[in-house]
């Protein structure tokens, strides 16, 4: 297919990629850890609810927690073993909090539970595919971890034109998407076909940054092997610029359209998925394998043998880092995700979860913690902003806690890509200010809603009391009126009686 | 691994305030060399004195305001303010003139508003305007270019005059000084001479004032370098020079005897230093790209208006300060359309 004219987005950065560091070896399998720690919440939404008992033997792929509520997915045992505990454990979250986890002592046998592969996915309904994807515990593997089955539902009001596979991988250092496209292209195409079927999408666009020629040719080659898909799929090569992988920016580049502020891509007929997610969907339907592992990039200046590793969920990050050999001291902090949007963690027992795309130990040109200078209004942040915001204005109002003003300057359209921070000559941590403002506004909103409810309840109560009082009065009045009326009627009756008698007497007298 | 920031992004960009300020000073060097060549060593004495006074004042103000010395002293902003003001002052100015201007700029225009980043007006221009209004005689005692003067100003002579007010032999400052080309143009037009006739006088060069056109040329080159290395954006200089060119061209066509040619306006006085080094001050200027075009165009137009109809030969400083006042308004009405705005 011919390459269409590409759009572009304002701002963005040309960043050194540092990708070669972790692409020199093929994807390797991480050895099974002795103990796996599986947080019950590895996705956006409600945490899963455990359905196993401590001491129970589980098989590889066996469901150990069920989805709770709509926005939730199941969790499975990544290998065979025994449930050692269901308890709180530190989880990979910037807050450093603990959360309920299922601990499995592995037995090394890696024995699968019986799987139910579906040879022809067309024999399933769209709903059944979503159900299976949900049962398989699949979430977006790009890093956010939103339950994928929801994004495979076109819904009633919407009509999905395009399935957009986001293979941009614009953050420096991360290579897990690039590597899975290189090595498992056919499996990704298989998954895309199923996704397209579930979404009833007309076309598929696979967008890959031009710094990944191996991934592009592998995907092209896999596509030629699938005739039906080849006709409706385009591989779009996009220029390497951060943050092209941002969903909204990618859509703008590939289609020239913009997702309406506060809306979702589906509002303009587009659904975005990550290639790793597509691969997982293919495995889940075609082979009946739930999501129990992912590709994790382990890289950074402190890592001796950087690379990509197919890692079971629950594997302690320490083991992964040890496996790669690092110059890092025990318990030294590392970055989960990329250097632009990841977060730093410390704690060697933290497990790999469904959203752990990259473990980064040591960054070239690392930003040193320093006292920022005042904003000199140079406007570089506004030039770099891919959403065309005015970061220094939002910063100003975030600092002075004038949150309504931050919203006026469209704070909530900020995608927290960090471009403004990167270019700031005063080294102001702008994104942190924006996150602070967002959280404050959401808290206020919650408080307001709570007080609104309380006020409403109070007002309703007053109204009810008033109504009851009025009703009472009304009833009394009615009763009084009725009484008066009956009295009057009685009187009248008496009166008429006397009147009529007097009349008759009068008549009689006349006669 | 070193202690990195506790919040993303963890990748550091090379951009830094100090770096930017030093690059601005670097870009001024060719024009400074040209000014020394044409107006003598007084220029260097002014700059040295101004920088020393600026740093001392900065230290004093930071101490009084209980702010850390190191980050703010090394940001380079005081140096830039001092150099810009020194370049705007006549090359043989008494030491107290420079000192008063610099102290006022740093204390009143900068620190009393909250220091770096908070000043609504360009500090160097505030200092300049104060001097111009308070000491009009000293501020207009400019030297003609060296080739026209019988007595070139050497370093010893410059230092002696600046600090003692004495000149060697029977020389007086009045004998050395003369009107600037902008001044001469304005005065003689009011005496009903035509610009063409005036331009033939030895004070004038190819299309601007003799010497001044080269100084402006080197400010232009320095400014283009700053745009090239992305310390400033092209918007303000292009808008300012463009507006000045357009309005002077219009009046060239409809009233040729009113003022000098468009090229005279572009290469005289403070046009180029104003366009690339003063109106581009980020703190007191507009931050949006559209706003910068409006800001620059406003400075260009006001400069012309003041030069032609105002009481002063040059108008860049007043124009910049007047436009500084409009910045909040301009910024408010030139917000870019945000991604996905309905």
For residue A127, pLDDT over 60 is answered with yes
pLDDT at position B2: 46
Q: Say if CB A198 and CB A152 are below 8 A apart.
A: yes
For residue A107, pLDDT over 70 is answered with yes
Measured CA to CA, the distance from residue B12 to residue B5 in angstroms comes to 10
Sign of CA dihedral A193, A197, A199, A204: positive
Closest by Cβ to B4, choosing from A368, A371, A432: A368
**Considering only CB atoms, which chain B residues are within 8 Å of A413?**
338-340
Model confidence at A134, pLDDT cuts 50, 70, 90, reads very high
Smallest CA-to-CA distance from A349 within A139, A50, A61, A39 is with A39
Measured CA to CA, the distance from residue A313 to residue A33 in angstroms comes to 10
Query: B16 to each of A296, B21, B118, B210, how far by Cα in Å?
Result: 34, 9, 18, 38
- Tell which B residues from 319 to 338 touch A, by Cβ distance under 8 Å: 331, 335-338
Query: A237 to each of A4, A16, A206, A279, A363, how far by Cα in Å?
Result: 10, 19, 8, 20, 27
Phi-psi region of A379 (alpha: psi -120 to 50; beta: other; left: phi over 0): left
Determine whether the interchain pair A367/B4 forms a contact, defined as Cβ–Cβ distance below 8 Å: yes
For residue A504, pLDDT over 70 is answered with no
Model confidence at A1, pLDDT cuts 50, 70, 90, reads very low
Measured CA to CA, the distance from residue B182 to residue B294 in angstroms comes to 26
Name residues whose C-beta falls within 8 Å of residue A447's C-beta, 6 or more positions apart in sequence.
none
Residue ranges of domains in chain A, CATH in brackets: 20-31+117-336 (3.40.50.11540), 375-497 (1.10.1060)
Model confidence at B3, pLDDT cuts 50, 70, 90, reads low
Q: What is the mean pLDDT of residues A279-299?
A: 95
Model confidence at B1, pLDDT cuts 50, 70, 90, reads very low
**Chain A closest-CA separation from residue B275 CA (Å):** 16
Q: What is the pLDDT of residues B4-52, one digit of tens each?
A: 677 889 888 888 999 999 999 999 999 999 999 998 889 999 999 999 9
Q: Say if CB A455 and CB A463 are below 8 A apart.
A: no
pLDDT at position B158: 84
**Chain A closest-CA separation from residue B212 CA (Å):** 30
pLDDT at position B4: 64
- Could you identify the residue written with the tokens 């089955």? A149
Measured CA to CA, the distance from residue A300 to residue A121 in angstroms comes to 41
A164 forms beta bridges with A205, A272
Q: What is the mean pLDDT of residues A72-91?
A: 94
Q: What is the DSSP letter of A175?
A: -
What's the distance, CA A337 to chain centroid? Answer: 15
3-state secondary structure A465-501: HHHHHHHHHHHHHHHHHHHHHHHHHHHHHHHHHHHHH
> How many residues in chain A?
511
Determine whether the interchain pair A425/B6 forms a contact, defined as Cβ–Cβ distance below 8 Å: no
Element (H, E) at A28: strand A28-29
Q: Say if CB A26 and CB A183 are below 8 A apart.
A: yes
- Tell which A residues from 415 to 454 touch B, by Cβ distance under 8 Å: 418, 421-427, 429, 431-432, 435
A326 forms beta bridges with A303
For residue A233, pLDDT over 90 is answered with yes
Q: What is the mean pLDDT of residues A69-75?
A: 91
Q: What is the pLDDT of residues B131-176, one digit of tens each?
A: 999 999 888 888 877 766 666 778 888 888 888 888 777 677 777 7
Measured CA to CA, the distance from residue B199 to residue A199 in angstroms comes to 77
Does the CB of B254 have a partner CB in chain A at under 8 Å?
A: no
Q: What is the pLDDT of residues B173-211, one digit of tens each?
A: 777 777 888 888 888 888 888 888 888 888 888 888 888
Predicted complex ipTM exceeds 0.85: yes
Query: Could you please report the per-residue DSSP string of A230-261?
Result: HHHEEEEEE---BTTTSHHHHHHHHHS--PPT
Model confidence at A371, pLDDT cuts 50, 70, 90, reads confident
- Could you identify the residue written with the tokens 């991604």? B339
Rg (CA), chain B: 21
Q: What is the pLDDT of residues B243-301, one digit of tens each?
A: 999 999 999 999 988 888 999 999 999 999 999 999 999 999 999 999 999 999 999 99
Name residues whose C-beta falls within 8 Å of residue B24's C-beta, 6 or more positions apart in sequence.
B80, B226, B231, B277
Q: What is the pLDDT of residues A437-496, one digit of tens each?
A: 999 999 999 998 999 899 989 999 999 999 999 999 888 888 888 888 888 878 777 766
**Considering only CB atoms, which chain A residues are within 8 Å of B233?**
379, 383
- How many percent of chain A have pLDDT more than 90? 75
Mode of pairing for the β-strands spanning A270-273 and A293-299: unpaired
B44 φ/ψ angles, rounded to the nearest 5 degrees: -65, -40
Mode of pairing for the β-strands spanning A81-90 and A98-106: antiparallel
Q: Say if CB B321 and CB B125 are below 8 A apart.
A: yes
Element (H, E) at B175: helix B173-176
């Amino acid at each position: 297919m011919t390459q269409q004219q590409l759009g572009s987005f304002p701002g963005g950065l040309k960043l050194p990629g540092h990708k070669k560091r972790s692409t020199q070896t093929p994807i390797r399998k991480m050895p099974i850890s002795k103990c796996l720690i599986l947080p019950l919440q590895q996705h956006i939404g409600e945490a899963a609810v455990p359905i196993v008992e401590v001491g129970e033997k589980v098989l590889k792929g066996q469901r150990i927690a069920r989805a709770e509520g709509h926005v939730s997915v199941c969790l499975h045992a990544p290998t065979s073993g025994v449930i050692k505990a269901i308890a709180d454990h530190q989880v990979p979250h910037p807050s450093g909090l603990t959360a309920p986890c299922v601990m499995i002592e592995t037995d090394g046998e890696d024995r699968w539970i019986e799987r139910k592969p579906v040879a022809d996915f067309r024999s399933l309904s769209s709903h059944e595919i979503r159900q299976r994807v949900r049962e398989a515990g699949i979430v977006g593997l790009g890093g956010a971890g939103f339950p994928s089955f929801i994004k495979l539902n076109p819904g009633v009001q919407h009509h999905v034109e395009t399935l957009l596979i986001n293979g941009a991988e614009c953050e420096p250092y991360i290579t897990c998407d690039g590597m899975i496209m290189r090595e498992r292209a056919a499996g990704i195409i298989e998954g895309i076909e199923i996704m397209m079927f579930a979404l009833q999408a007309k076309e598929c666009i696979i967008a890959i940054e031009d710094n990944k020629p191996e991934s592009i040719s592998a995907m092209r080659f896999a596509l030629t092997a699938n005739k039906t898909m080849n006709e409706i799929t385009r591989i779009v090569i996009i220029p390497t610029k951060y943050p092209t992988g941002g969903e909204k920016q990618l859509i703008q580049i590939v289609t020239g359209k913009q997702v309406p502020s506060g809306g979702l891509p589906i509002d303009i007929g587009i659904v975005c998925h990550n290639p790793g997610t597509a691969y997982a969907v293919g495995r889940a339907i075609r082979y009946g394998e739930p999501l129990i592992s992912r590709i994790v990039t382990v890289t950074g200046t402190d890592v001796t043998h950087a690379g990509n590793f197919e890692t079971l969920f629950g594997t302690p990050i320490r083991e992964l880092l040890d496996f790669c050999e690092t110059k890092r001291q025990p318990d030294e902090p590392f970055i989960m995700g990329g250097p632009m949007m990841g977060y730093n963690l410390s704690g060697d027992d933290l497990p790999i979860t469904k959203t752990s795309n990259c473990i980064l130990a040591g960054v070239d040109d690392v930003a040193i913690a320093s006292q920022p200078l005042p904003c000199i209004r140079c406007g570089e942040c506004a030039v770099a902003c891919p959403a065309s915001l005015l970061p220094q204005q939002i910063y100003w109002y975030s600092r002075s806690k004038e949150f309504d003003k931050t919203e006026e300057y469209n704070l909530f359209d900020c995608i927290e890509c960090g471009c403004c921070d990167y270019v700031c000559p005063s080294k102001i941590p702008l994104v942190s200010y924006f996150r602070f403002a967002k959280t404050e506004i959401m808290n206020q909103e919650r408080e307001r809603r709570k007080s609104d409810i309380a006020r409403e309840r109070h007002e309703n109560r007053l109204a009810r009391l008033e109504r009851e009082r009025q009703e009472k009065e009304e009833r009394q009045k009615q009763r009084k009126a009725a009484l008066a009326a009956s009295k009057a009627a009685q009187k009248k009756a008496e009166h008429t009686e006397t009147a009529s008698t007097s009349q008759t007497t009068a008549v009689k007298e006349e006669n | 691994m070193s202690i990195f920031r506790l919040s993303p992004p963890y990748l550091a960009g090379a951009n830094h305030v100090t770096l930017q300020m030093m690059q601005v000073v670097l870009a001024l060097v060719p024009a400074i060399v040209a000014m020394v060549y044409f107006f003598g060593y007084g220029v260097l004495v002014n700059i040295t004195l101004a920088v020393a006074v600026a740093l001392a004042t900065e230290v004093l103000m930071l101490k009084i305001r209980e702010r850390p010395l190191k980050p703010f002293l090394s940001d380079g902003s005081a140096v830039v303010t001092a150099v810009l003001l020194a370049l705007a002052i006549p090359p043989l100015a008494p030491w107290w003139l420079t000192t008063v201007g610099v102290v006022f700029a740093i204390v009143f225009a900068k620190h009393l508003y909250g220091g770096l980043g908070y000043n609504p007006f360009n500090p160097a221009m505030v200092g300049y305007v104060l001097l111009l209004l308070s000491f009009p005689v000293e501020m207009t005692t400019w030297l003609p270019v060296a080739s026209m003067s019988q007595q070139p100003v050497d370093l010893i002579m410059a230092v002696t005059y600046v600090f003692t007010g004495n000149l060697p032999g029977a020389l007086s400052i009045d004998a050395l000084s003369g009107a600037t080309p902008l001044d001469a143009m304005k005065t003689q037009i009011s005496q009903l001479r035509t610009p063409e006739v005036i331009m033939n006088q030895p004070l004038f060069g190819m299309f601007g004032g003799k010497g001044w056109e080269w100084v402006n040329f080197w400010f232009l080159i320095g400014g283009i370098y700053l745009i090239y290395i992305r310390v400033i954006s092209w918007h303000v200089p292009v808008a300012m020079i463009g507006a000045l060119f357009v309005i002077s061209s219009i009046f060239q066509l409809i009233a040729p005897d009113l003022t000098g040619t468009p090229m005279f306006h572009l290469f005289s006085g403070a046009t180029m230093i104003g366009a690339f080094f003063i109106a581009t001050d980020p703190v007191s200027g507009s931050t949006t790209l559209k706003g910068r075009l409006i800001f620059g165009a406003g400075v260009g137009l006001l400069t012309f208006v003041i030069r032609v109809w105002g009481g002063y030969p040059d108008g860049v400083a007043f124009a910049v300060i007047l436009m500084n006042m409009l910045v909040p308004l301009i910024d408010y009405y030139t917000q870019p359309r945000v991604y996905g705005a309905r």
